[in-house]
Amino acid sequence: MRPHKSNSQALQLQSVSLNSTGYYICEVNTDSPPFKAVKGEAYMEVIEPPRDEPKITGEEKIYATGDILALNCTSGFSYPAARLQWFINNVPIDPDSEVLHLSSRGLHSTRSSLRLELYPLHIADGRIEVKCVSLVTTSPLVRTPFVDTRTTKIYVQGHGNLLSASLSLLLINLLQHLLLKRD
């Protein structure tokens, strides 16, 4: 590493690698009497954000109430590994699984799977908005955190039948009432 475009307030390093993460000490000495030295220490973290947005795969053309929405979201390669978050109509949804893949240069790709049974509340105006957000962040040791956020959004058609869902709830309530009445 050698200084480049440095000034009295900042030191810019070139040719850093993922292994360059760590604590750095910078010491400045005056060149005339009285000789003084000033020293500072800081933690530096090297990250490599993904080059692309996450990719959602597995979607069907049309879904209906009761169908299973089964999708995968895969992040681009990054360091550290991306965390993936799912949203259905802007509501966060927990994934069913998350798998980490390694590349040859020490980079990671994350794949998250989502399986969700669709209810009428998921289908708004005949469509479902599915979003996958990829987050790559520095660790809490860094004074000024860096966050790389990338989003992929898809829309799929949906046909919800509120009447059938309401009838199902009505039947369940009626059966419960009849069973309680028998006791």
Range of the domain at 3: 1-46
Q: Are residues 34 and 114 in the same domain?
A: no
How many CB atoms are located within 10 Å of the residue 168 CB?
13
pTM: 0.74
pLDDT in tens, 4-39: 577 767 777 888 898 999 998 888 888 888 888 888
From first CA to last CA, the distance across the chain in angstroms is: 81
Specify the 3-state DSSP secondary structure of 88: strand
Q: Are residues 5 and 71 in the same domain?
A: no
Residue 170 falls inside a structural domain: no
pLDDT at 163 exceeding the cut of 60: no
Report pLDDT for 49: 94
Burial class (CB in 10 A: 0-12, 13-18, 19+), 84: buried
Report pLDDT for 158: 82
Q: Are residues 7 and 73 in the same domain?
A: no
pLDDT at 120 exceeding the cut of 70: yes
Q: How many domains does the chain have?
A: 2
pLDDT in tens, 56-93: 999 998 998 899 999 999 999 999 999 999 999 999 99
pLDDT in tens, 102-112: 888 899 999 99
Q: How confident is the model at residue 161 (pLDDT cuts 50, 70, 90)?
A: low
Q: What is the CA radius of gyration of the chain?
A: 26
Q: Are residues 39 and 64 in the same domain?
A: no
